């Protein structure tokens, strides 16, 4: 199936099974804003717990914080967001569609990379084991021509971006005849800077109001509370502050479902370290965070680092952890060595000292910061993309059937087990209800007695329930039930009194955390 179709199926599956709905749907939706349904909210909460526990529970030098969304407007001046949190936008005069100029150029470059990848794939098939990719890249004329084009455009692009040369960006689009995908023309406006922060007014007009922003990242709430937490928690460097919360960005191009939203959630951790040790800590957090992803078991090769070569002015190292989505490798998390930029700026703008007294060194300094920053919604999309399968099943009579299954890691699954009486009579529903009543104190359980047992299994497969407990006539005789495993579809007979222990061992977050 084409990757585009895979993605379309994923989006409709999320809606059909109560994971994600378009926001304000009965009013035709609100662009790039989504609501999480009954299963979506459970998965989201489980993702957040996995992150929170891996930070705050497993590290005795990391503590949590929940800072307000509204903050003093000067914070955003100090952080650089008022002046520099911009995207370069361009409009097509014929289609009236708006684009990010940088994205148009990056997508143009991607086409050449795809051409190179195709050439390499064809050659690999032709030459088999004897294929030498490095040599092929150095000698194949088509690859060399495409690579030369990439290098030429990239050099101009990088220069224009670094010098904030908006006319230069437009000229790259014109010179390369990059057209609007809707109108097919290159009738473009000038490129303008567009600030991504949402602003609103605080206070009534009568008493005077002031402009405040909806935070575009949670990190600044951590920076401005750095000394509050350090002093009240008697924290010693190195230490971290972790926070989960909403962030808002007025994205120009909001596409790909919940990948790029205007209202989203971040899980950020700022790690405060001695100046000079930040690059060691940067490497440390790169490793730790990659392990966190890989522990989920979706395949090590589906993740990669993308180290930044163009660094923001405040960073001395930065990388993205990318996951292989149906639309290619894309960033899920950013890890940044932010130097002492933010704390120094807040010290300057607030006039308050942002220094830490280091008892071991006997001196005060502004700590350096390594940040890990991941989007909850993007992680959610990663997990759904990795877990959703359409499987062909061979039946005993030789015919085949398909099932849609979400192979979510048990700990993340919204419903841990479904309890299903085989038939709606002979006292089986009563036993099933009693099991649910006992187990609901431990796990998220669901009772279902509608339709055939096969259809009920399929419903649970589609929402990702890892275990189904079936009560049948043998239960009446010996107090045993069957556990059906979602992924293998195998069944096992166990005593009702064993259920809590068996399921608990399988769905507990502990085994996941122990892999870190």
Tokens 């700022």, located at residue:
270
Q: Could you say which of 90, 224, 335, 374 contacts ligand GAP (CB under 6 A)? A: 374
131: left (phi over 0), alpha (psi -120 to 50) or beta: beta
CA dist 475 → 237, 260, 397, 424, 481 (Å): 59, 50, 29, 14, 6
Q: Is 377 in the site for ligand GAP (CB under 6 A)?
A: yes
Q: Could you say which of 251, 426, 438, 504 contacts ligand GAP (CB under 6 A)? A: 251
Q: Where are the beta strands (DSSP E) in 174-238?
A: 192-195, 198-202, 210-214
Calpha distance 381→301 (Å, rounded): 18
Segment lying near ligand GAP (by CB under 6 A), choices 292-300, 331-339, 354-362, 397-405: 331-339
Closest to ligand GAP by CB, 249 vs 484, is 249
176 φ, ψ to 5°? Answer: -95, 10
Calpha distance 160→88 (Å, rounded): 11
- Per-residue tokens: 314: 């405040």
Whose CA is closest to 77, among 188, 201, 195, 234? 195
Q: Could you say which of 54, 195, 266, 339 contacts ligand GAP (CB under 6 A)? A: 266
Closest to ligand GAP by CB, 250 vs 480, is 250
Segment lying near ligand GAP (by CB under 6 A), choices 165-173, 261-269, 288-296, 360-368: 261-269
Closest to ligand GAP by CB, 377 vs 461, is 377
Calpha distance 238→368 (Å, rounded): 10
Binding mask 215-244 for ligand GAP (x = CB under 6 A): --x-x-------------------------
Closest to ligand GAP by CB, 332 vs 507, is 332
Q: Is 339 in the site for ligand GAP (CB under 6 A)?
A: no
Calpha distance 19→12 (Å, rounded): 10
Q: Which residues of 156-179 are buried (b: 16+ CB within 10 A; e: fewer)?
A: bbeebbeeebbeebbebbeebebb
Q: Could you say which of 378, 416, 459, 486 contacts ligand GAP (CB under 6 A)? A: 378
Q: Which residues of 314-332 are buried (b: 16+ CB within 10 A; e: fewer)?
A: bbebbbbbbbbbbeeebbb
Binding mask 183-222 for ligand GAP (x = CB under 6 A): ----------------------------------x-x---
Q: Write down the least CB distance from residue 176 to ligand GAP, Å.
A: 27
Q: Is 270 in the site for ligand GAP (CB under 6 A)?
A: no
Q: Is 87 in the site for ligand GAP (CB under 6 A)?
A: no
> Cβ-count burial of 92 within 10 angstroms (0-12 exposed, 13-18 middle, 19+ buried)?
buried
Closest to ligand GAP by CB, 188 vs 248, is 248
Q: Could you say which of 261, 369, 413, 418 contacts ligand GAP (CB under 6 A)? A: 261
Closest to ligand GAP by CB, 378 vs 459, is 378
Q: Write down the least CB distance from residue 65 to ligand GAP, Å.
A: 14
Closest to ligand GAP by CB, 261 vs 383, is 261
Segment lying near ligand GAP (by CB under 6 A), choices 307-315, 367-375, 449-457, 506-514: 367-375
Tokens 């993309």, located at residue:
385
3-state DSSP helix/strand/coil % of the chain, to nearest 5: 45, 25, 30
Q: Write down the least CB distance from residue 270 to ligand GAP, Å.
A: 9
Whose CA is closest to 85, among 255, 282, 272, 314? 314
Closest to ligand GAP by CB, 43 vs 173, is 43
275 φ, ψ to 5°? Answer: -55, 135
Q: Is 268 in the site for ligand GAP (CB under 6 A)?
A: yes
Q: Is 342 in the site for ligand GAP (CB under 6 A)?
A: no
Q: Write down the least CB distance from residue 295 to ligand GAP, Å.
A: 18
- Rounded to 10 degrees, the C-alpha dihedral 25/31/34/35 comes to -40
- 3-state SS assignment for residue 458: helix
- Per-residue tokens: 496: 């009702």
Q: Is 249 in the site for ligand GAP (CB under 6 A)?
A: yes
Do the beta carbons of residue 324 and residue 348 sit within 8 Å? Answer: no
The residue count for binding ligand GAP (CB under 6 A) is: 19
Q: Is 267 in the site for ligand GAP (CB under 6 A)?
A: no
- 3-state SS assignment for residue 487: coil
Q: Write down the least CB distance from residue 304 to ligand GAP, Å.
A: 14
Q: Could you say which of 100, 170, 215, 260 contacts ligand GAP (CB under 6 A)? A: 260
Closest to ligand GAP by CB, 266 vs 446, is 266
Closest to ligand GAP by CB, 154 vs 263, is 263
Segment lying near ligand GAP (by CB under 6 A), choices 79-87, 108-116, 167-175, 373-381: 373-381
Q: Could you say which of 51, 108, 213, 264 contacts ligand GAP (CB under 6 A)? A: 264
Sites of contact with ligand GAP (CB under 6 A): 217, 219, 249, 251, 260-261, 264, 266, 268, 331-334, 371, 373-375, 377-378
């Amino acid at each position: 199936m084409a990757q585009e179709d895979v993605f379309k199926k994923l989006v409709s599956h999320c809606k059909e099974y109560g994971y994600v709905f378009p926001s304000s749907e009965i009013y035709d939706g609100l662009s790039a804003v989504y609501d999480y349904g009954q299963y979506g909210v459970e998965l989201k909460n489980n993702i957040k717990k996995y992150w929170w526990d891996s930070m705050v529970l497993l590290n005795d030098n990391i503590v949590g914080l929940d800072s307000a969304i509204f903050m003093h407007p000067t914070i955003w001046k100090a952080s650089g967001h008022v002046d520099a949190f911009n995207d370069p936008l361009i409009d097509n005069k014929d289609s009236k569609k708006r684009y990010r100029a940088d994205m148009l150029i990056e997508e143009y470059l991607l086409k050449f990379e795809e051409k190179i990848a195709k050439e390499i794939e064809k050659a690999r098939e032709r030459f088999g084991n004897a294929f030498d990719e490095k040599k092929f890249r150095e000698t194949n004329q088509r690859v060399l021509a495409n690579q030369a084009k990439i290098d030429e455009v990239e050099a101009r692009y990088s220069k224009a971006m670094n010098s904030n040369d908006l006319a230069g960006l437009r000229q790259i689009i014109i010179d390369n005849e990059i057209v609007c995908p809707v109108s097919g023309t290159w009738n473009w406006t000038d490129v303008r800077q567009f600030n991504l922060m949402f602003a609103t007014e605080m206070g009534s007009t009568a008493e005077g109001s002031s402009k405040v922003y909806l935070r575009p990242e949670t990190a600044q709430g951590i920076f401005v509370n750095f000394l509050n937490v350090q002093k009240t928690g008697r924290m010693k460097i190195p230490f971290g502050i972790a926070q989960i919360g909403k962030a808002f960005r007025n994205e120009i191009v909001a596409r790909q479902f919940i990948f790029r939203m205007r209202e989203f959630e971040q899980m950020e951790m700022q790690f405060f370290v001695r100046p000079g040790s930040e690059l060691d800590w940067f490497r440390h957090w790169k490793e730790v965070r990659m392990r966190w992803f890989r522990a989920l078991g979706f395949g090590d090769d589906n993740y990669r680092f993308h180290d930044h070569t163009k660094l923001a002015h405040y960073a001395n190292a930065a990388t993205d952890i990318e996951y292989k989505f149906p639309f290619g490798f894309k960033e899920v998390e950013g890890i940044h060595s932010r130097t002492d930029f933010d704390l120094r700026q807040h010290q300057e703008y607030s006039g308050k000292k942002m220094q830490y007294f280091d008892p071991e060194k006997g001196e005060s300094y502004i700590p350096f910061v390594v940040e890990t920053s991941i989007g909850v919604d993007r992680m959610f999309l990663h997990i759904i993309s990795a877990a959703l399968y359409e499987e062909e099943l061979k039946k005993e009579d030789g015919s085949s059937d398909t099932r849609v299954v979400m192979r979510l890691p048990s700990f993340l699954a919204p419903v841990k087990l479904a309890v299903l009486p085989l038939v709606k009579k002979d006292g089986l529903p009563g036993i099933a209800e009693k099991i649910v009543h006992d187990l609901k104190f431990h796990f998220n359980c669901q009772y279902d007695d509608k339709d055939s047992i096969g259809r009920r299994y399929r419903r649970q497969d589609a929402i990702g329930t890892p275990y189904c407990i079936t009560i049948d006539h043998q239960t009446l005789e010996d107090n045993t039930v069957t556990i059906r495993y979602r992924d293998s579809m195998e069944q096992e007979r166990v005593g009702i009194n064993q259920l809590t222990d068996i399921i608990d061992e399988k769905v507990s977050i502990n085994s996941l955390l122990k892999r870190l």
